[in-house]
Amino acid sequence: MLTTVYTLSREAVGAAIGALAAVPAVSATWPTANVTIYVPFQVDVDSEVVQVFLFNGAAVSGNFDIGVYNFSGTKLGALGATAQAGVGVVQAVTVANIALTADSTYYLALWFSNTTATTFRVLSGNLGHLRALGVLQETNAAGLPTNFTPVAVAQDYLPCFGVTFKTVM
Protein backbone atom coordinates (compact mmCIF):
# COMPACT_ATOMS: atom_id res chain seq x y z
CA MET A 1 0.00 0.00 0.00
CA LEU A 2 1.34 3.46 -0.90
CA THR A 3 0.98 6.27 1.62
CA THR A 4 1.90 9.94 1.38
CA VAL A 5 3.29 12.12 4.14
CA TYR A 6 3.81 15.81 3.53
CA THR A 7 4.29 18.86 5.69
CA LEU A 8 0.56 19.46 6.10
CA SER A 9 -0.47 15.86 6.80
CA ARG A 10 -1.41 14.57 10.25
CA GLU A 11 1.84 12.57 10.45
CA ALA A 12 3.82 15.83 10.25
CA VAL A 13 2.72 19.22 11.61
CA GLY A 14 -0.46 19.53 9.54
CA ALA A 15 -3.00 18.83 12.26
CA ALA A 16 -1.58 21.56 14.48
CA ILE A 17 -0.94 24.04 11.66
CA GLY A 18 -4.43 23.53 10.25
CA ALA A 19 -5.88 24.98 13.43
CA LEU A 20 -3.36 27.83 13.51
CA ALA A 21 -2.73 28.80 9.89
CA ALA A 22 -3.66 32.38 9.14
CA VAL A 23 -3.11 32.06 5.39
CA PRO A 24 -3.96 29.14 3.06
CA ALA A 25 -1.22 27.60 0.89
CA VAL A 26 0.00 30.16 -1.64
CA SER A 27 3.01 30.52 -3.92
CA ALA A 28 5.98 32.33 -2.35
CA THR A 29 9.70 32.68 -2.99
CA TRP A 30 12.12 30.55 -1.02
CA PRO A 31 13.10 32.59 2.06
CA THR A 32 16.92 32.30 1.95
CA ALA A 33 19.36 30.78 -0.56
CA ASN A 34 21.04 27.53 0.55
CA VAL A 35 18.73 27.04 3.51
CA THR A 36 17.27 23.65 4.39
CA ILE A 37 13.95 23.47 6.23
CA TYR A 38 13.41 20.35 8.37
CA VAL A 39 9.88 19.24 9.29
CA PRO A 40 9.33 16.39 11.78
CA PHE A 41 7.05 13.49 10.91
CA GLN A 42 6.22 10.00 12.18
CA VAL A 43 5.28 6.69 10.61
CA ASP A 44 3.04 4.05 12.17
CA VAL A 45 4.38 1.01 10.30
CA ASP A 46 7.71 -0.09 8.81
CA SER A 47 7.91 1.58 5.42
CA GLU A 48 10.16 2.44 2.48
CA VAL A 49 10.18 5.87 0.85
CA VAL A 50 9.95 5.42 -2.94
CA GLN A 51 9.24 8.97 -4.12
CA VAL A 52 9.75 12.58 -3.00
CA PHE A 53 7.69 15.55 -4.15
CA LEU A 54 7.44 19.32 -4.02
CA PHE A 55 4.50 21.60 -4.83
CA ASN A 56 6.09 24.16 -7.17
CA GLY A 57 4.86 27.74 -7.10
CA ALA A 58 4.42 30.46 -9.72
CA ALA A 59 8.10 30.50 -10.82
CA VAL A 60 10.69 27.75 -11.02
CA SER A 61 14.40 28.39 -10.68
CA GLY A 62 17.60 26.74 -9.52
CA ASN A 63 18.03 23.42 -7.79
CA PHE A 64 16.34 21.74 -4.86
CA ASP A 65 16.94 18.58 -2.84
CA ILE A 66 14.54 16.59 -0.68
CA GLY A 67 15.72 14.06 1.89
CA VAL A 68 14.82 12.15 5.01
CA TYR A 69 16.78 12.29 8.29
CA ASN A 70 16.42 10.20 11.42
CA PHE A 71 15.72 11.94 14.71
CA SER A 72 19.44 11.95 15.56
CA GLY A 73 20.17 13.98 12.42
CA THR A 74 21.68 11.38 10.08
CA LYS A 75 20.57 11.55 6.45
CA LEU A 76 18.92 8.26 5.48
CA GLY A 77 18.56 9.17 1.83
CA ALA A 78 17.89 12.03 -0.54
CA LEU A 79 17.08 12.89 -4.13
CA GLY A 80 20.24 14.89 -4.84
CA ALA A 81 20.34 18.37 -6.38
CA THR A 82 17.60 18.53 -9.03
CA ALA A 83 16.42 21.34 -11.29
CA GLN A 84 13.02 22.70 -10.29
CA ALA A 85 10.60 22.19 -13.20
CA GLY A 86 6.92 22.84 -13.87
CA VAL A 87 5.06 25.93 -12.70
CA GLY A 88 2.17 25.33 -10.30
CA VAL A 89 2.47 21.54 -10.33
CA VAL A 90 3.62 18.80 -8.02
CA GLN A 91 7.11 17.75 -9.08
CA ALA A 92 7.54 14.12 -8.03
CA VAL A 93 10.72 12.07 -8.43
CA THR A 94 11.43 8.41 -7.69
CA VAL A 95 14.30 7.79 -5.24
CA ALA A 96 16.24 4.76 -4.04
CA ASN A 97 14.22 3.21 -1.22
CA ILE A 98 14.73 4.80 2.19
CA ALA A 99 13.81 2.48 5.08
CA LEU A 100 11.64 3.88 7.90
CA THR A 101 10.86 2.10 11.17
CA ALA A 102 7.42 2.10 12.79
CA ASP A 103 6.77 4.48 15.67
CA SER A 104 9.88 6.56 14.94
CA THR A 105 10.28 10.28 14.33
CA TYR A 106 12.02 11.54 11.20
CA TYR A 107 12.60 14.84 9.45
CA LEU A 108 11.57 15.79 5.93
CA ALA A 109 14.26 18.09 4.54
CA LEU A 110 13.94 20.58 1.68
CA TRP A 111 16.88 22.66 0.38
CA PHE A 112 16.95 25.30 -2.36
CA SER A 113 19.96 26.89 -4.03
CA ASN A 114 18.41 30.36 -4.48
CA THR A 115 15.64 32.78 -3.51
CA THR A 116 13.92 33.14 -6.88
CA ALA A 117 12.39 29.66 -6.80
CA THR A 118 8.85 29.45 -5.45
CA THR A 119 6.93 26.76 -3.63
CA PHE A 120 3.46 26.62 -2.23
CA ARG A 121 3.64 27.29 1.50
CA VAL A 122 1.52 28.24 4.48
CA LEU A 123 2.09 30.77 7.22
CA SER A 124 1.34 29.56 10.73
CA GLY A 125 0.55 33.11 11.76
CA ASN A 126 3.28 33.03 14.39
CA LEU A 127 6.89 31.90 14.07
CA GLY A 128 6.63 30.49 17.59
CA HIS A 129 4.10 27.92 16.35
CA LEU A 130 6.58 26.41 13.88
CA ARG A 131 9.31 26.39 16.52
CA ALA A 132 7.01 24.69 19.04
CA LEU A 133 6.17 22.02 16.45
CA GLY A 134 9.86 21.23 15.96
CA VAL A 135 10.45 22.82 12.54
CA LEU A 136 14.17 23.53 12.11
CA GLN A 137 16.52 25.04 9.52
CA GLU A 138 20.17 24.99 8.51
CA THR A 139 22.32 26.88 6.00
CA ASN A 140 24.51 24.72 3.77
CA ALA A 141 25.64 25.85 0.30
CA ALA A 142 26.49 22.28 -0.71
CA GLY A 143 22.93 21.00 -0.33
CA LEU A 144 21.70 18.47 2.22
CA PRO A 145 24.45 17.51 4.68
CA THR A 146 25.22 13.94 5.77
CA ASN A 147 24.52 14.94 9.38
CA PHE A 148 22.52 17.99 10.28
CA THR A 149 23.26 20.70 12.85
CA PRO A 150 20.03 22.70 12.66
CA VAL A 151 18.81 25.71 14.57
CA ALA A 152 15.31 26.98 15.29
CA VAL A 153 13.48 28.00 12.14
CA ALA A 154 13.87 31.75 11.49
CA GLN A 155 10.91 32.50 9.24
CA ASP A 156 7.19 31.71 9.23
CA TYR A 157 7.39 29.63 6.03
CA LEU A 158 6.21 26.02 5.83
CA PRO A 159 6.69 24.64 2.28
CA CYS A 160 4.40 21.96 0.85
CA PHE A 161 6.59 18.91 0.14
CA GLY A 162 6.78 15.30 1.20
CA VAL A 163 7.36 11.62 0.49
CA THR A 164 5.42 8.66 -0.78
CA PHE A 165 6.22 5.31 0.79
CA LYS A 166 5.11 1.72 0.73
CA THR A 167 4.48 -0.31 3.86
CA VAL A 168 6.77 -3.25 4.55
CA MET A 169 5.09 -6.40 5.82
Q: pLDDT for 149-161, tens place per residue? A: 999 999 888 999 9
pLDDT score of 1: 58
Domain count, the chain: 1
Per-residue pLDDT of 82-134, as tens digits, reads 999 999 999 999 999 899 999 999 999 999 999 999 999 987 677 888 898 89
Per-residue pLDDT of 16-33, as tens digits, reads 655 555 556 789 999 999
* Rounded percentage of the chain residues whose pLDDT exceeds 70: 91
Distances (CA, A) of 47 to 42, 61, 75, 100, 164: 11, 32, 16, 5, 10
The pLDDT confidence band at residue 60, using thresholds 50, 70 and 90, is: very high
Cα–Cα nearest to 96, from 64, 68, 62: 68
What sign for the dihedral angle of Cα 133, 34, 66, 23? positive
169, pLDDT greater than 70: no
| 97: CATH | 2.60.120
Per-residue pLDDT of 30-57, as tens digits, reads 999 999 999 999 988 899 999 999 999 9
pLDDT score of 128: 86
Residue 73: give the domain boundaries: 2-167
